A and B are shown apart, each in its own frame.
Chain A
């Protein structure tokens, strides 16, 4: 076996020994890192769940085009032709003011209110349904139709999809921001942990250098420790988020039952979880690198 591989194994084993010699300190470190990482991870999980929920809802945008009362017959006919010619259009349905009132009357509690009205306040309207996923086209159409003679008001019912989209992108930005901030925190935590370790092992480092240890040899165990600390903190974060998800799912399914729908948060795919662990290890490595570069060079045996 080659000396380099042997030292890698030795460094790994040393991490085990170090853990065994102060398991509570090491565990406390892991938990701190775990909690720090659980925040962005949990938020990411939430955002991606809302995202997949939103994308599973059919989004055939509907546009209600309300006509001005007493609009000219020619204008109305021209408008209908125009609507039928719109790109992506599925259907164009005319809802007369009488039909609209009748349907309103059927709504519970509305009949009494409506019977007090002396005249029908509702306008005639066209309901235009566009094909799936054409929310943008719907909004284009909305702005095109505004101000066309004979039209009083245009309302796009896909607006809420837009709103969720906006909310999701806000959520994603928050996840990125939070991840960046808390990654920094993790780097700082490992930086400090490694600094303390270098201090407590000062004598061993000095002696090792005096008997011919290379810088790489001296650094290697710290890199293992920092990387493992990051990864195990990441594992702790995954565990915390998983527990939170299990608890939330219990409440969500009760809530969903009330509405007859199944609501469940999905956990991260395995590949994402692995990537997350690798990233946590990398952050630990970076913290170690910074700490080792700063503190090891100061130890020059005399």
Chain B
């Protein structure tokens, strides 16, 4: 069997001055899997997701991403790790001082793609999330669902092998939320590994992918048990 694309081995995370947010986490994600990470608010979902791009560092245990050890990764290696990941943040982190197009092109600038190639890929990404006709708009002018799609476009523009989204449907009406989940499913169908944190019970009921449940910093996962 192929090596898992993400694996957590006895990972714990304690924030400075806080209690343990994650305790002894063991779980793996195979390449091409679609995984929902669920749990109540404060269960540790965001913390777990942030460990993968090394936004937060584990207090103990080892994490492997694409065969690379995150726990031993130096500060210099982190940017290159992140370039292979598509990240949709819980707080979106859109830049409102520039257009939709300029938000999506940012990952391309960071990796130094040519202007022509960048433009082509930004348009392709915007097309996939249905925002091509809004490329000149300011993100402020977009609806909540459109802003979330913009975040997704920025996450996929660099063609990541892993897509990680933290509560991408939290603030959306069901209709929009379904459309967003459908979008993730379509990326998964072309081979992208997808890991989504959500506490939306309905959503979990509707879909039938693997669900990893977090409770007070511990994994309750039937699939990997």
Spell out A's residues near B (CB within 8 Å): 1-4, 6-7, 10, 203-204, 206-215, 217, 301-302
Question: Nearest B residue to A207 by beta-carbon distance?
Answer: B93
Task: Enumerate chain B residues within 8 angstroms of A211, measured Cβ to Cβ.
Answer: 82-83, 87, 106-107, 110, 154, 158
Partner of A207, one of B53, B81, B106, B113: B106
Task: Enumerate chain A residues within 8 angstroms of B8, measured Cβ to Cβ.
Answer: none
Q: Give 13 pairs: A residue, B residue, CB < 8 Å, sorted on A.
A: A3-B111, A3-B112, A4-B112, A10-B109, A204-B95, A206-B93, A207-B106, A208-B110, A211-B83, A212-B82, A213-B79, A302-B50, A302-B56
Q: How many A-B residue pairs have CB under 8 A?
A: 57
CB distance from A11 to the nearest CB of B (A): 10
Q: Which 10 A-B pairs have the closest CB atoms?
A: A3-B112, A212-B83, A212-B82, A213-B110, A212-B79, A211-B107, A214-B79, A207-B93, A6-B112, A212-B110
Spell out B's residues near A (CB within 8 Å): 50, 53, 55-56, 75-76, 79-83, 87, 89, 93, 95, 97, 106-107, 109-114, 154, 158
Task: Enumerate chain B residues within 8 angstroms of A212, measured Cβ to Cβ.
Answer: 79-83, 107, 110-111, 158
Q: Whole-angstrom distance between the alpha carbons of A203 and B139 in the complex?
A: 15
- Check B83–A203 contact: CB distance below 8 A: no
Q: Whole-angstrom distance between the alpha carbons of A116 and B26 in the complex?
A: 120
CB distance from B149 to the nearest CB of A (A): 17
Task: Enumerate chain A residues within 8 angstroms of B89, measured Cβ to Cβ.
Answer: 210
Question: Nearest A residue to B112 by beta-carbon distance?
Answer: A3
Known: A203-B95, A210-B82. A301 touches B111 (CB 8 A): no
Partner of A6, one of B76, B82, B106, B114: B114
Task: Enumerate chain A residues within 8 angstroms of B82, measured Cβ to Cβ.
Answer: 210-212
- Check B79–A203 contact: CB distance below 8 A: no
Question: Nearest A residue to B92 by beta-carbon distance?
Answer: A207
Question: Nearest B residue to A7 by beta-carbon distance?
Answer: B112
Question: Nearest B residue to A6 by beta-carbon distance?
Answer: B112
Question: Nearest A residue to B56 by beta-carbon distance?
Answer: A302
